[in-house]
Amino acid sequence: MTRRKKEKVIIVGLRLRQNRHNFDSSFAELSGLVEAAGGEVIAELVQTRNQPTGASYIGKGKVQELQHLIEELEPDLVVFDSELSPVQQRNLEETLKIRVVDRTRLILDIFSMRARSKEGRLQVELANLQYNLPRLTGAGKEMSRLGGGIGSRGLGEQKLELDKRNIRKRIKELQKQLAAVEANRQNQKKQRQRAGLPIISLVGYTNAGKSSLFNRLCTSAHRSGQPQVTVNARVFQTLDTTIRKITLPSGQEILLSDSVGFIQNLPHHLVAAFRSTLDEIIEADFLLHVVDAADPNYMEKMKVIEEVLDDLGADQAKVITVFNKADKIDEFFAPGCLVSARTGEGIDELMQHIEQCINQPLFEFG
Ligand SMILES: Nc1nc2c(ncn2[C@@H]2O[C@H](COP(=O)(O)OP(=O)(O)OP(=O)(O)O)[C@@H](O)[C@H]2O)c(=O)[nH]1
Ligand SMILES: [Mg+2]
């Protein structure tokens, strides 16, 4: 992919009166998502209302205000902090004469940039097509109109001209290919189960430090020399699942798995497409919920993860909460382990705690 210059973005949000708090953290996060997609936020526009309007999501007056802002600042696109209906999106683009991208599309874009494994790519393409299908009016016009840049990734060049019928065909094809990959994965899972080792999955909000903790646990458990997973301040750095066998201080072996992070308002298309990855995460014997203790919004983010885990049907009793980034904070009351993946502080205690959980009576593996 060629490096294009940063696209200029105006972000727009609707603060619903009954949902103020969620809005603030979601909107603050939107800038990070725009950056992750290769853009730069040059202005923000927020409206407070009781509910969105059917035609243009924000009210008429606000659309006018946005229009003035666009004329003045000449952004490349506008990003809305919510999923727009196909009609709202079309109306807005026609009125504003500019590319309009919603939060869902933006997250799909980032996932498209990050997907590496075969399964990840198939899942992302599937989610993209499912998102685009109801948004196509003519024979593939809309998709090719998008041209490039934020809001257009994840569809191979050759697929830009697909019409609805072909998209449906491609969706079926992808589902079939994914089923095959899934069968393969089930096989691997059986093999792992046969080995009888407990599986511990790292879960948590994107950027909490799951991959850093994964690496730290791998080295502390004397597995240095193993290829490490990539750590990055960008959101959704990790998409693919990595599993390593590590040996805890007592000699107990476990399988540790690192995977995709979550975020509030994850697009349901994406969740559906990633279902098998998510199922695998929550089927682990234990879930190590990694929380960024230095994040002022850590409580809300914890709640997001708890809700996601609940939706996925994960057993709360399997969750071990660990607060990370201890090196960044002075004082913190942690109702669980407090560690720093960076400095190694608290890691021994965490490993002991994991061992205790594994060796609880009544818990059997395989
Ligand atoms: N100061 C400090 N920074 C940390 C610590 N752990 C992780 N980080 C930083 O936090 C950022 C995110 O770390 P990752 O390990 O990639 O986070 P992740 O949860 O795997 O993120 P995704 O894969 O995007 O979901 C990176 O910039 C890390 O260097 C820590 O203990 N202390
Ligand atoms: Mg990661």
Residue nearest ligand 1's atom 10 by CA: 209
Q: From 280, 52, 308, select the one nearest 188 (Cα to Cα).
A: 280
Q: From 107, 114, 61, 63, select the one nearest 82 (Cα to Cα).
A: 107
Predicted local distance difference test score (pLDDT) of residue 188: 79
Assign 8 a pLDDT band (cuts: 50, 70, 90).
very high
Pocket of ligand 1 (CB under 6 A): 204, 206-212, 231-233, 235-238, 261, 324-325, 327-328, 340-342
* pLDDT tens-place string over residues 180-237: 988 888 887 787 777 788 999 999 999 999 999 999 998 877 654 555 777 877 777 8
Kindly report the average pLDDT of the chain as a whole number. Answer: 85
* pLDDT tens-place string over residues 263-287: 887 777 787 778 777 888 888 999 9
343: CA distance to ligand 1 center in Å? Answer: 12
To test the pocket of ligand 1, the residue of 33, 206, 232, 339 to mutate (highest count of ligand atoms within 8 Å of its CB) is: 232
CA 201, CA 314: separation in Å to the nearest integer? 12
Sheet architecture: strand order including 99-102: 39-49, 7-16, 77-80, 99-102
Percent over 70 (pLDDT), the chain: 89
34 touches 79 (CB < 8 A): yes
Identify which has the larger pLDDT, 80 or 184.
80
Q: Which domains does the chain have, with CATH numbers?
A: 7-106 (3.40.50.11060), 115-178 (no CATH), 196-358 (3.40.50.300)
**DSSP state string for 177-246:** HHHHHHHHHHHHHHHHHHHT--EEEEEEBTTSSHHHHHHHHHHHTT-TTSPPPP--SSTT---S-EEEEE
* pLDDT tens-place string over residues 296-343: 889 989 999 998 899 888 998 999 999 999 999 988 777 889 999 999
Cα torsion angle, 218, 220, 222, 228, sign: positive
Mean pLDDT of 95-123: 90
